[in-house]
Amino acid sequence: MVVLFMEVVDTLASLEGFPQEMASLIKREVDVKASEDEVAALIASEWVNRYNQLVSSGNYRSLRGLARDVMMTVVKKYSLGLGGRELEYWGDALANAFVTVARIYDDVEPALNELSNLGVPMYILTNLDNDIAKKILLKNGLLRFFKGVVSSDLTRVGKPNVRIFNAALYRAKVNKEEGLMVMGAFL
Protein backbone atom coordinates (compact mmCIF):
# COMPACT_ATOMS: atom_id res chain seq x y z
CA MET A 1 0.00 0.00 0.00
CA VAL A 2 1.31 3.45 -0.94
CA VAL A 3 0.76 6.37 1.43
CA LEU A 4 1.05 9.93 0.12
CA PHE A 5 2.63 12.68 2.19
CA MET A 6 1.97 16.20 0.89
CA GLU A 7 3.31 19.64 1.69
CA VAL A 8 0.73 22.43 1.86
CA VAL A 9 2.73 25.33 0.38
CA ASP A 10 3.50 25.18 -3.35
CA THR A 11 1.83 21.76 -3.60
CA LEU A 12 -1.75 22.39 -2.50
CA ALA A 13 -1.68 26.17 -2.04
CA SER A 14 0.04 29.31 -3.24
CA LEU A 15 1.10 32.09 -0.87
CA GLU A 16 1.20 34.84 -3.46
CA GLY A 17 1.04 38.28 -1.89
CA PHE A 18 2.24 37.23 1.57
CA PRO A 19 4.99 39.90 1.92
CA GLN A 20 2.65 42.64 0.68
CA GLU A 21 -0.11 41.57 3.07
CA MET A 22 2.29 41.66 6.01
CA ALA A 23 3.81 44.99 4.97
CA SER A 24 0.32 46.47 4.77
CA LEU A 25 -0.53 45.22 8.26
CA ILE A 26 2.75 46.49 9.71
CA LYS A 27 2.33 49.91 8.07
CA ARG A 28 -1.21 50.23 9.48
CA GLU A 29 -0.28 49.30 13.04
CA VAL A 30 3.32 50.41 13.53
CA ASP A 31 4.91 53.75 12.66
CA VAL A 32 7.36 52.54 10.00
CA LYS A 33 9.20 55.29 8.11
CA ALA A 34 9.30 53.41 4.82
CA SER A 35 7.00 52.65 1.92
CA GLU A 36 4.84 49.55 1.99
CA ASP A 37 6.74 48.21 -1.02
CA GLU A 38 10.08 48.66 0.77
CA VAL A 39 8.80 46.81 3.85
CA ALA A 40 7.35 44.04 1.64
CA ALA A 41 10.68 43.64 -0.18
CA LEU A 42 12.53 43.40 3.16
CA ILE A 43 10.07 40.80 4.46
CA ALA A 44 10.29 38.74 1.25
CA SER A 45 14.08 38.72 1.10
CA GLU A 46 14.59 38.19 4.84
CA TRP A 47 12.00 35.38 4.87
CA VAL A 48 13.72 33.45 2.08
CA ASN A 49 17.24 34.10 3.40
CA ARG A 50 16.44 33.17 6.99
CA TYR A 51 14.41 30.10 5.98
CA ASN A 52 17.21 28.82 3.73
CA GLN A 53 19.79 29.47 6.45
CA LEU A 54 17.78 27.58 9.08
CA VAL A 55 16.97 24.65 6.77
CA SER A 56 20.54 24.26 5.49
CA SER A 57 21.93 24.34 9.04
CA GLY A 58 19.34 21.81 10.23
CA ASN A 59 17.91 24.30 12.72
CA TYR A 60 14.47 24.97 11.23
CA ARG A 61 11.81 24.27 13.87
CA SER A 62 8.69 26.33 13.30
CA LEU A 63 6.99 28.92 11.16
CA ARG A 64 6.34 31.14 14.17
CA GLY A 65 10.03 31.08 15.11
CA LEU A 66 10.94 32.08 11.57
CA ALA A 67 8.27 34.81 11.63
CA ARG A 68 9.66 36.24 14.89
CA ASP A 69 13.18 36.27 13.39
CA VAL A 70 11.92 38.14 10.33
CA MET A 71 10.02 40.62 12.49
CA MET A 72 13.16 41.24 14.58
CA THR A 73 14.94 42.22 11.36
CA VAL A 74 12.13 44.66 10.51
CA VAL A 75 12.28 46.06 14.08
CA LYS A 76 16.05 46.58 13.86
CA LYS A 77 16.03 48.03 10.34
CA TYR A 78 13.38 50.65 11.15
CA SER A 79 14.36 51.22 14.82
CA LEU A 80 10.97 50.21 16.15
CA GLY A 81 10.65 49.96 19.90
CA LEU A 82 8.92 46.60 20.17
CA GLY A 83 9.38 44.44 23.25
CA GLY A 84 9.10 40.69 23.76
CA ARG A 85 5.31 40.47 23.89
CA GLU A 86 4.94 42.66 20.82
CA LEU A 87 7.47 40.57 18.92
CA GLU A 88 5.52 37.48 19.94
CA TYR A 89 2.34 39.10 18.64
CA TRP A 90 3.95 40.02 15.32
CA GLY A 91 5.44 36.56 14.96
CA ASP A 92 1.93 35.14 15.34
CA ALA A 93 0.51 37.75 12.96
CA LEU A 94 3.08 36.87 10.29
CA ALA A 95 2.39 33.16 10.71
CA ASN A 96 -1.38 33.62 10.66
CA ALA A 97 -1.14 35.70 7.47
CA PHE A 98 -0.37 32.40 5.73
CA VAL A 99 -3.99 31.39 6.37
CA THR A 100 -5.27 34.68 4.96
CA VAL A 101 -3.26 34.65 1.72
CA ALA A 102 -3.22 30.90 0.98
CA ARG A 103 -4.98 30.10 -2.30
CA ILE A 104 -5.63 26.48 -3.20
CA TYR A 105 -4.64 25.55 -6.75
CA ASP A 106 -7.61 24.82 -9.04
CA ASP A 107 -6.74 21.17 -9.65
CA VAL A 108 -6.17 20.24 -6.00
CA GLU A 109 -9.69 19.34 -4.85
CA PRO A 110 -10.51 17.18 -7.91
CA ALA A 111 -7.16 15.38 -7.52
CA LEU A 112 -7.72 14.79 -3.79
CA ASN A 113 -11.25 13.55 -4.50
CA GLU A 114 -9.90 11.05 -7.02
CA LEU A 115 -7.14 9.84 -4.69
CA SER A 116 -9.66 9.53 -1.86
CA ASN A 117 -12.05 7.55 -4.08
CA LEU A 118 -9.16 5.20 -4.89
CA GLY A 119 -8.61 4.68 -1.16
CA VAL A 120 -5.12 6.23 -1.10
CA PRO A 121 -4.22 7.24 2.48
CA MET A 122 -2.92 10.83 2.59
CA TYR A 123 -1.10 12.83 5.25
CA ILE A 124 0.30 16.34 5.40
CA LEU A 125 4.06 16.53 6.04
CA THR A 126 4.94 20.18 6.43
CA ASN A 127 7.35 22.82 7.64
CA LEU A 128 4.33 24.95 8.53
CA ASP A 129 3.18 24.92 12.13
CA ASN A 130 0.53 22.27 12.71
CA ASP A 131 -2.29 24.69 13.47
CA ILE A 132 -1.48 26.90 10.47
CA ALA A 133 -1.49 23.92 8.08
CA LYS A 134 -4.81 22.72 9.52
CA LYS A 135 -6.37 26.19 9.32
CA ILE A 136 -5.41 26.52 5.64
CA LEU A 137 -6.85 23.09 4.87
CA LEU A 138 -9.98 23.67 6.96
CA LYS A 139 -10.62 27.10 5.45
CA ASN A 140 -10.55 25.52 1.99
CA GLY A 141 -12.51 22.38 2.85
CA LEU A 142 -9.55 20.03 2.38
CA LEU A 143 -8.76 18.79 5.90
CA ARG A 144 -11.23 15.92 5.47
CA PHE A 145 -8.96 14.26 2.88
CA PHE A 146 -6.03 13.78 5.28
CA LYS A 147 -5.53 11.22 8.03
CA GLY A 148 -3.18 13.52 9.92
CA VAL A 149 -0.67 16.35 9.89
CA VAL A 150 3.02 15.83 10.71
CA SER A 151 4.65 19.22 11.25
CA SER A 152 8.04 20.67 12.08
CA ASP A 153 6.82 22.48 15.19
CA LEU A 154 5.57 19.26 16.79
CA THR A 155 8.43 17.01 15.67
CA ARG A 156 10.95 19.74 16.56
CA VAL A 157 12.75 19.19 13.28
CA GLY A 158 12.00 20.44 9.78
CA LYS A 159 12.40 19.10 6.30
CA PRO A 160 14.79 18.06 4.83
CA ASN A 161 15.96 16.42 8.09
CA VAL A 162 15.35 12.67 7.89
CA ARG A 163 13.80 12.61 11.37
CA ILE A 164 10.64 14.40 10.23
CA PHE A 165 10.22 11.88 7.40
CA ASN A 166 10.71 9.01 9.85
CA ALA A 167 8.10 10.57 12.16
CA ALA A 168 5.66 10.70 9.24
CA LEU A 169 6.30 7.07 8.31
CA TYR A 170 5.82 6.05 11.94
CA ARG A 171 2.56 8.01 12.18
CA ALA A 172 1.22 6.35 9.01
CA LYS A 173 2.50 2.93 10.15
CA VAL A 174 4.32 2.28 6.86
CA ASN A 175 7.93 1.67 5.86
CA LYS A 176 9.91 3.97 3.58
CA GLU A 177 9.17 1.87 0.50
CA GLU A 178 5.45 2.57 0.98
CA GLY A 179 5.66 6.34 1.52
CA LEU A 180 5.67 8.84 -1.32
CA MET A 181 6.34 12.55 -0.75
CA VAL A 182 4.49 14.97 -3.04
CA MET A 183 5.70 18.56 -2.87
CA GLY A 184 6.70 21.66 -4.74
CA ALA A 185 9.40 24.04 -3.59
CA PHE A 186 8.65 25.47 -0.14
CA LEU A 187 9.08 29.24 -0.18
- The phi, psi pair for 75, rounded to 5°, reads -60, -45
Determine what percent of the chain falls in helix, strand and coil, rounding each to the nearest 5: 55, 10, 35
Q: Is there a single domain that holds both residue 31 and residue 94?
A: yes
Q: Is there a single domain that holds both residue 97 and residue 111?
A: no
* pLDDT of the residue at 80: 77
Statement: residue 99 has pLDDT above 60 = yes
Q: Is there a single domain that holds both residue 136 and residue 171?
A: yes
* pLDDT of the residue at 187: 44
**Contact between 170 and 5 (Cβ < 8 Å):** no
* Domain CATH for 148: 3.40.50.1000
Q: Is there a single domain that holds both residue 94 and residue 38?
A: yes
Statement: residue 186 has pLDDT above 60 = no
Statement: residue 181 has pLDDT above 60 = yes
User: 117-170, pLDDT tens digit by residue?
Assistant: 999 999 999 999 999 999 999 999 999 999 999 999 999 988 888 999 999 999
Partners of 179 in beta bridges: 3
Buried b (16+ CB within 10 A) or exposed e, 15-34: beebbbbbbebbbeebebeb
| Average pLDDT of every residue of the chain | 90
pLDDT confidence band for 185 (50 / 70 / 90): low
User: 19-75, pLDDT tens digit by residue?
Assistant: 999 899 888 888 788 999 999 999 999 999 999 998 888 888 888 888 888 888 888
Indicate whether 25 belongs to any domain: yes
pTM: 0.87
Indicate whether 187 belongs to any domain: no
* pLDDT of the residue at 108: 96
Indicate whether 42 belongs to any domain: yes
Indicate whether 116 belongs to any domain: yes
* Domain of 69, in residue numbers: 16-101
Indicate whether 40 belongs to any domain: yes
Statement: residue 82 has pLDDT above 90 = no
Q: Which of 125, 132, 108, 127 is nearest to 58 (CA)?
A: 127
Whole-angstrom distance, CA of residue 26 vs CA of residue 24: 6
User: 60-81, pLDDT tens digit by residue?
Assistant: 888 888 888 888 888 888 887 7
- Residue 186 or 103, more confident: 103
* Domain CATH for 52: 1.10.150
Q: Show Cβ contacts of residue 151 under 8 Å, excluding neighbours closer than 6 positions.
A: 124, 126, 127, 128, 129, 130, 133
Q: Is there a single domain that holds both residue 59 and residue 25?
A: yes
